[in-house]
Amino acid sequence: MTHILRHHQQRDNTGLSTLSPLEQLTWPHSDVKLPCGIVPALNVTSNWLQMKLKWLHNGKNVDLGHRYNLNHNTGVLVINNVRLDDNGIWQCVNEKQLARAINLVVLEIPKEPYLLIDGHRLDPGNLFVPVKENMDLSIECVVEGGNPMPSLHWLLFPSNSNIENEAMSSGLLQSNESYQEKDISRSSAKIQRVLRAHHNATVACIVTHVTLVNPLNTTILLDVQYTPSFGISRIPGFGIPIKESISVSLKCDVDSNPPSTPVWQKDDSAPPVLQTDDGFLNFTSIRRNHSGWYKCTSRHLLSEYSSIGYFLNVRYDLNDLDTVRKELIEEDNSGSSESVEVTVGGEVQLECPSGPSAAIPCWAKTGNDNDLQPIGPSSNLHIDQVLYQEAGEYKCIVGSKNENLEKLRVYTLHLNVVGGPVIYTENRTIVAHEGDDTRLSAEFCSNPMVNKVFWIASDRVIRPGTAVGQITAHNITLGLNLFGVHRLWRGSPPIAQKRYEFHHFTVLVIDQQCRCYRCGSSTSSYCQVATLTIQSVTPIHSGEYNLIVGSGKTLVEATVILSVTKSTRNREPVQTSSSHS
């Protein structure tokens, strides 16, 4: 059986040969007739022998006979028992004319597709492909046979649990155009960055072809291996003071693949009560000696992972829970608060127990002289790339059930930042005029605190509180975030509908949302300042000045470059570049 598909292309009057070929489809082992298309002149008898016709296949002469027979009355070429070799361009020609070509397509059904990863063919019986989170994944789909060339398409189906995940629905799968080489069709696809949301997702290669009623396909399931992430919850909820003798539960949820088991620790040792298999620490009647730092750990693929620390504070000086409820209506002055520990450079999320209130809580950070640095309205406060300067006391201010916010609750959380030393230089390059007194300063932070501090100038070691000639290294002072290393915004008070005073800070109510006001400068008990002064500098003082600080076995260094110029009557302003190490 054969049929012809004609291209809808405009006819070119300069000659038939300029038109695109007609396409004719046929199955192997069938007989096919190819019309010549050359019409004899009107004054010439229609003797096809006299016209000296011949047929070309892919530009080469066809030897008539055997399976190729020419009908001399019509010029039609009959091909018996069609083979795949007959596929291609056929054209009837004579000495003066060139007929419109025919593209004979000998149909072949493509074979089942298969997938390659890193050049290796996947076992069709193994549907799961392991891949690590944040890596890229390249897949190739291969189809043997098929004429004309089959079309290859890629689809990415999320798992049921991630059906509405934005990362899955944004078309992360990228594919190129398919191509055919030596009767083998190929197409490749790539996921630029594999996410844990891709776990159990299906990658499918779909093959469509003119000979197929239903498309062919081959699929794999992604087995994404990702490290543990921890979720810690508490009953009663965070922000509610814990009174001695009440029932308390801590819960640790670990999300990882392969799955890993949560293990609780208190002060880096075993917890005081046995934990359940599902990650609960249940204190039937909690006692004051249960206070301490708790964290959740897990062993995953030969490595140990840990959550951020959580300080459980058991209050034992309250008469009854009514006292607790009363204290929650105003600012908490008892000194009791929740504590969270995070490593410098890490990330942490502080949660505000807003309760049944519909109002958006306000976050603020306690600064110098108990002034509050406003952060903004949010139920949760997320801080990434944590700085030492961001350690300290945070307050979450929440409206009560009263829509007019006549009473507010203030919850206090302490953020403890731990890690090695970091140095912030006020100016990395300083230009001084000859004869001037010059000051070099740097702020350094560490928890635990540093135990080694010294300057190196002209191959001399100068310790704080000592002097060498005109150079004096002053005693270490408390850091006050002199160099602007913070991200907390400040601002003047906007027009407010309501105003509430809380000792050292103010809460404003604007558009039914509370906002904190009255800023203080950021400081941290983990930060100190080292200062070096040079009296009446001369060009000999030009060069590098290195500050070395150490905590434990860790040493870090910051360099300040001093350039001394000759004194002039009119001194121009000097530009410097800020830096931190």
- Provide the phi-psi class of 284: left if phi over 0, else alpha when psi is between -120 and 50, else beta: alpha
Same domain flag for 506 and 369: yes
Q: What is the DSSP letter of 125?
A: T
Q: What is the pTM of this model?
A: 0.50
Instruction: With residue 326 as reference, give the H or E element that holds it.
Output: helix 321-328
CA distance 428 to 538: 19
Same domain flag for 388 and 480: no
Q: Domain for residue 152, yes or no?
A: yes
CA distance 564 to 561: 10
3-state per-residue secondary structure call for 376-396: EECCEEEECCCCHHHCEEEEE
CA distance 75 to 55: 10
Q: What is the DSSP letter of 74?
A: T
- Cβ atoms of 231 and 261 within 8 Å: the answer is no
Name beta bridge partners: 456: 461, 546
Residues with pLDDT less than 70, the chain: 1-18, 40-51, 161-175, 317-337, 353-360, 368-370, 399-408, 479-524, 567-581
Give the pLDDT score at 265. 92
- AA identity, residue 287: R
CA distance 393 to 416: 9
Same domain flag for 472 and 545: yes
Same domain flag for 102 and 136: no
CA distance 519 to 505: 8
Which of 328, 363, 385 finishes a domain? 328
Give the pLDDT score at 486. 40
Instruction: With residue 457 as reference, give the H or E element that holds it.
Output: strand 452-457
Q: Domain for residue 163, yes or no?
A: yes
Q: What is the DSSP letter of 503?
A: T
- 124: domain range? 114-226
Distance set, CA 372 to CA 410, 490, 504 (Å): 13, 10, 7
Residue 563, SS3 per DSSP: strand
Name beta bridge partners: 305: 298
Q: Domain for residue 341, yes or no?
A: no
Name beta bridge partners: 129: 222
Same domain flag for 95 and 48: yes
Taking alpha carbons only, the member of 367, 402, 401, 394 closest to residue 378 is: 394
Give the pLDDT score at 168. 57
Distance set, CA 392 to CA 342, 385, 412 (Å): 12, 16, 10
Domain count of the chain? Answer: 5
- What CATH number has the domain bearing residue 73? 2.60.40.10
Distance set, CA 313 to CA 368, 457, 514 (Å): 25, 48, 28
CA distance 536 to 432: 10
Q: Domain for residue 139, yes or no?
A: yes
Which of 300, 328, 356 finishes a domain? 328
- Cβ atoms of 107 and 27 within 8 Å: the answer is yes
Same domain flag for 406 and 517: yes
- AA identity, residue 21: P
Same domain flag for 139 and 190: yes
Instruction: With residue 321 as reference, give the H or E element that holds it.
Output: helix 321-328
Q: What share of the chain is helix, strand, coil (3-state, %, to 5)?
A: 5, 50, 45
Give the pLDDT score at 146. 92
Same domain flag for 204 and 248: no
Same domain flag for 552 and 576: yes
Q: C-alpha angle 83/88/90, rounded to 5°?
A: 105
Q: Domain for residue 338, yes or no?
A: no
Same domain flag for 550 and 409: no
Q: Domain for residue 385, yes or no?
A: yes
Give the pLDDT score at 185. 93
Which of 521, 542, 569 finishes a domain? 521
Q: Domain for residue 279, yes or no?
A: yes
- Provide the phi-psi class of 370: left if phi over 0, else alpha when psi is between -120 and 50, else beta: left
Instruction: With residue 339 as reference, give the H or E element that holds it.
Output: strand 338-343
Instruction: With residue 181 as reference, give the H or E element that holds it.
Output: strand 179-181
Give the pLDDT score at 415. 87
Same domain flag for 126 and 220: yes
Same domain flag for 122 and 168: yes
- What CATH number has the domain bearing residue 513? 2.60.40
Q: Domain for residue 335, yes or no?
A: no
